[in-house]
Structure 1
Amino acid sequence: MNIYVGNLPFSITDADLRETFSRFGEVSQVNLISDKFTGESKGFGFVEMANNSQADAAIKGLNGTDMKGRNITVNQAKPKTDAPRGGGFGGGGGGGGGRRY
């Protein structure tokens, strides 16, 4: 099961996250998300656990708990969708009228 972990302190490391979740079972993978330009943490990441019951226990046991001064959010990750992100504006429009000679 893939688990979303949010509101992480920016100083957290993969090893810290792995250690925290391994108290509930085997951690397959840890992926902290960082800014591609600065390399700094974005404050969230994903933890993958092979056993769903252990993952559920980790979600229940860690959601809302304090990690280095921040209450973290832990829940089952939602699958990424290819839907457009909305926003943006429709096509342009012509410029002002005025007379053309």
Structure 2
Amino acid sequence: MGSKLYVGGLPYAATETQLTTLFAAHGKVESARVIADKFTGQSRGFGFVEMSTPEEAQAAITALNGSQMDGRSLTVNEAKPQESRSGGGKRFGGGGSGNDFGGRNRF
């Protein structure tokens, strides 16, 4: 199994093909994914790349973290486990409700 990397600061026009090409210079790319907004389909400015070995992943981090892509500075580091997403969704939903009610009570 490969090593998954988080890539932030992507230009909104960046494609998965461009991401694959960029990272292929540092090893074998198992997969590349640009994350898009589920409602608009527009890129959210980040993605994930899976390299075939931890050594290749580290080489990509060293070479690409802080580098420029179409005038934007990239952030490249090890991806965090995906399990934190569900907690974030619940927190956002609760916070949104509280803010809505607070705003209504003031007016």
**Residue of structure 2 equivalent to 1:34:** 36
TM-score of the pair, normalised by structure 1: 0.82
Task: Please state how far the C-alpha of 1:84 moved relative to its aligned partner.
Answer: 2.1
Higher helix share: 2
Residues 38-77 of structure 1: pairs in structure 2 closer than 5 A: 38-77=40-79
Deviation at 1:51, TM superposition (A): 1.1
Gap regions ≥5 residues in structure 1? 90-101
Structure with larger Rg: 1
Count of residues in Structure 1 that have an aligned counterpart in Structure 2: 90
The alignment partner of 1:56 has SS state of: helix
SS in 1 for 2:87: coil
Tell me the TM-score normalized by structure 2.
0.78
Deviation, structure 1 residue 24 = 0.2
Q: Gapped runs of 5+ residues in structure 2?
A: 96-107
Of all paired residues, the percent bearing the same amino acid is 46
The match for 2:103 is none
User: What residue is the counterpart of 1:99 in the other structure?
Assistant: none
- 1:3 equivalenced with 2:11 (yes/no): no
Flag as ranges the 4+ runs of structure 1 deviating above 6 A. none
Q: Which amino acid aligns with 1:81?
A: E
Shift, 1:22, TM fit: 0.2
